């Protein structure tokens, strides 16, 4: 396998190699869009040298064994379940899909290595936020949606043209008043419905978590359903619905005030949360460290400072690679 030497000075690279690395940096910035995907396809198609340079740069992100494979498996499972749960939206999305599928670069964007840039399904979303970005939108009948960082949603899911599909990330939904018509959010093969609640839905790989903050919601998954009241939360994944638990709404909603709060949270989950708020990706290679509990209160606009404090607290060694990739051991 040909590998990129991450210590090689930029001045030693050819012009095409520098451009290939610039594409990697762009794709890992959390800000790349469909136009970037189309431009990348054209760039790779300019010559075999261009395609090879991008392929070699990409191999850097494919070199981390099980850590990368686990993330790719999560993406595959999540994608399969989204296809079975929601109808395919055509039009401009089909055009984008055709453009991407026509090139090797398109395959990389469908299943990005280590989750370093948005997946093909995220590129198709009606609304999307990048690393560290939050966005407020209004959908059907005045429903307000606050999207957290690295979040993608589409309007129209299942048999309901007004329902919202959460493709990736986390969002908080608020109904204007209690209505006769139910509003639904589809995520990871499950559906959350309500007539007037305020609730959050969070999606990590193929697992979803629903939190009720006001009124009540109905969560359905794999022919089972549960009703949540305020301060209650339920998670579900490939194995079905979990038990309902009571939560602290201050901790769950902290991201809406620009904070993240960890309370005896496993380091693995802490790293996953920090990855929402910074370009690139933090990868924890030590599974034993991943089980250590973390307590702390951090600002979401300073994820690297949070990472530095946690690394010092646990004596974790880290290696910084191009494109914002950080390996923790």
Residue-wise pLDDT tens digits, 50-93? 877 777 777 655 444 344 444 444 444 445 544 544 443 433 34
Measure the CA–CA gap between 177 and 165, rounded to whole angstroms: 21
Please give the pLDDT value at position 67: 43
**Contact predicate 262/155, CB 8 Å:** no
Please give the pLDDT value at position 88: 38
In a domain, 128, yes or no: no
Shared domain check, 111 and 18: yes
Measure the CA–CA gap between 122 and 118, rounded to whole angstroms: 6
Shared domain check, 230 and 282: no
Output phi, psi for 77, to 5 deg: -60, -45
Q: Which has more pLDDT, 65 or 197?
A: 197
Mean pLDDT along residues 148-155: 92
Q: Given pLDDT bands bounded at 50, 70 and 90, which one contains residue 328?
A: confident
Which residue, 188, 219, 249, sits at the end of a domain? 249
Measure the CA–CA gap between 14 and 37, rounded to whole angstroms: 23
Shared domain check, 148 and 79: no
Compute how many other C-beta atoms are within 10 angstroms of the C-beta atom of residue 92.
10
The number of domains in the chain is 3
Mean pLDDT along residues 227-249: 96
Shared domain check, 202 and 154: yes
Shared domain check, 224 and 298: no
Name the most confidently modeled range: 72-81, 123-132, 222-231.
222-231
Shared domain check, 141 and 99: no
User: 194: domain CATH number?
Assistant: 2.60.120.1440
In a domain, 1, yes or no: no
Mean pLDDT along residues 259-271: 92
**Contact predicate 143/174, CB 8 Å:** yes
Q: Put the strands of the sheet holding 281-284 in their side by side order.
A: 281-284, 325-328, 318-321
Shared domain check, 215 and 151: yes
- The yes-or-no verdict on residue 260 having pLDDT over 70 is yes
Q: Report which DSSP code applies to 147.
A: E
Question: Is the pTM here over 0.95, yes or no?
Answer: no
Measure the CA–CA gap between 22 and 44, rounded to whole angstroms: 13
- The yes-or-no verdict on residue 104 having pLDDT over 50 is no
Mean pLDDT along residues 25-48: 76
- The β-bridge partners of 184 are 193
Name the most confidently modeled range: 35-39, 52-56, 62-66, 145-149.
145-149
Shared domain check, 137 and 235: yes
Measure the CA–CA gap between 116 and 283, rounded to whole angstroms: 11
Q: Which has more pLDDT, 61 or 178?
A: 178
- CA angle (213, 249, 288) in 5-degree steps: 125
Compute how many other C-beta atoms are within 10 angstroms of the C-beta atom of residue 91.
7
**Contact predicate 70/170, CB 8 Å:** no
Question: What's the whole-number average pLDDT of the chain?
Answer: 77
Q: Which has more pLDDT, 44 or 151?
A: 151
In a domain, 152, yes or no: yes
**Contact predicate 277/131, CB 8 Å:** yes
- The yes-or-no verdict on residue 255 having pLDDT over 60 is yes
Residue-wise pLDDT tens digits, 298-326? 999 999 899 888 888 888 888 888 777 88
Please give the pLDDT value at position 124: 63
**Contact predicate 162/139, CB 8 Å:** yes
């Amino acid at each position: 396998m040909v590998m990129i030497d991450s210590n090689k000075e930029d001045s030693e690279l050819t012009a095409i190699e520098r451009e290939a690395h610039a594409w990697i940096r762009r794709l890992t910035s959390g800000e790349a869009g469909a136009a970037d995907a189309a431009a990348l396809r054209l760039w790779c198609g300019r010559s075999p040298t261009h395609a090879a340079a991008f392929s070699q740069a990409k191999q850097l992100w494919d070199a981390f064994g099980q850590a990368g494979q686990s993330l790719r498996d999560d993406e595959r499972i999540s994608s399969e379940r989204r296809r079975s749960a929601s109808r395919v939206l055509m039009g401009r999305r089909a055009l984008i899909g055709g453009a991407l599928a026509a090139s090797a670069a398109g395959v990389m964007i469908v299943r990005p290595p280590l989750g370093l840039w948005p997946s093909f399904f995220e590129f198709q979303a009606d609304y999307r936020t990048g690393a560290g970005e939050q966005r407020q939108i209004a959908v059907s009948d005045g429903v307000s949606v606050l999207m957290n960082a690295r979040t993608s949603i589409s309007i129209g899911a299942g048999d309901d043209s007004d329902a919202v599909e959460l493709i990736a990330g986390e969002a908080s939904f608020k109904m204007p008043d209690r209505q006769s018509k139910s509003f639904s959010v589809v995520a990871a093969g499950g559906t959350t419905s309500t007539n007037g609640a305020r609730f959050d839905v969070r999606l990590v790989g193929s697992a979803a978590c629903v939190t009720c903050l006001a009124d009540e919601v109905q969560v359905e998954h794999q022919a089972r359903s549960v009703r949540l009241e305020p301060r209650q939360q339920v998670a579900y994944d490939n194995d079905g619905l979990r038990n309902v638990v009571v939560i602290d709404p201050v901790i769950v909603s902290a991201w809406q005030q620009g904070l993240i709060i960890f309370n005896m949270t496993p380091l693995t989950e802490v790293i996953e949360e920090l990855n929402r708020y910074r370009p690139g990706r933090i990868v924890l290679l030590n599974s034993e460290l991943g089980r250590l509990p973390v307590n702390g209160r951090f600002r979401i606009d300073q994820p690297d400072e949070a990472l530095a404090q946690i690394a010092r607290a646990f004596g974790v060694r880290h290696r910084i690679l191009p494109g914002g990739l950080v390996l923790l051991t």
